[in-house]
Amino acid sequence: MKPTLRIALYLLVSIVAAVQAGTDRTSEVLAKPVAILSFKIDPATSKFVAHAHRGGLVWFKGQDHYLSVRQFSGETSLDLNVLNPASLSMTIEANSLHETGAGFTPPQKSTIDKEVNEISLETAKYPTITFRSTGVTGGPANGVFAIEIAGDITMHGVTRHITIPATVTVNGDALNAKGEFELKRSDFGVKATSAFHGWVRVKDKLTFDFDINARR
């Protein structure tokens, strides 16, 4: 075989091998596609409630406070193949918390809202409550993601690191996250009115329940 023909044949074989190798790598990538999806929270169809357990034995006939968050926004992203990278950010308008407890009359609810805004959360000074995730752990379980979201929450001008357990389902363009977590008022300097005329008299522990819907 002439040298020129031998070189040409060698180059042809090399090109075919390179193309084949590239095809194999492409198939491998396609077998595990990166599917990072971003979702925006829909507050109109979501629920976020702060449960403040009553303080005292007979305060308001033993009624707890259920403060529903009416205005909040946020975004989340995740890869359907691997849990990380994943992220969650949320902003709550602090003055949008509204008493929804069935044991209170409308005038009582208005007074409670006023005390929460002016005394407990001081919303004129601290208008927002924010959460920014720093890491997500967990994995699929029974058709959903059972995860723990670690992050920093800032409330009443104080930032604390917390972990929020949640179950997440993704169905097409829709995402749902449900869970519950607890905070202590004292960790954030949040006051509870204790005077005789005060309506917001609660224990230190606050429980937050959420059922959040988001769409791509």
- Is a pLDDT exceeding 80 seen at residue 210? yes
The pLDDT of residue 194: 54
Of 9-23, 96-110, 168-182, where does mean pLDDT reach its minimum? 9-23
Write down the pTM of the prediction: 0.76
The pLDDT of residue 59: 42
Cβ neighbours around 194 below 10 Å, total:
12
Fold exhibited by the domain 35-215: Lipocalin (2.40.128)
181 or 11: which leads in pLDDT: 181
Per the CB < 8 A criterion, the answer to whether 4 and 177 are in contact is no
The pLDDT of residue 61: 45
**What amino acid occupies position 34?**
V
36 or 186: which leads in pLDDT: 186
Going by C-beta distance under 8 Å and a sequence separation of 6 or more, which residues neighbour residue 86?
A: 76, 77, 78, 79, 133, 136, 147
The pLDDT of residue 66: 92
Per the CB < 8 A criterion, the answer to whether 190 and 121 are in contact is yes
**What are the structural domain ranges in the chain?**
1-31, 35-215
Of 56-60, 67-71, 132-136, where does mean pLDDT reach its minimum? 56-60
The pLDDT of residue 14: 45
Per-position b or e across 72-100, b if 16+ CB within 10 A of its CB:
bebebbbeeeebeebbbebbbebbbbbbe
83 or 205: which leads in pLDDT: 205
Going by C-beta distance under 8 Å and a sequence separation of 6 or more, which residues neighbour residue 82?
A: none
Per the CB < 8 A criterion, the answer to whether 123 and 95 are in contact is yes
- Give the integer Cα–Cα distance in Å for 156 and 179: 23
Cβ neighbours around 189 below 10 Å, total:
12
Most confident segment among 10-14, 102-106, 122-126: 122-126
The pLDDT of residue 148: 93
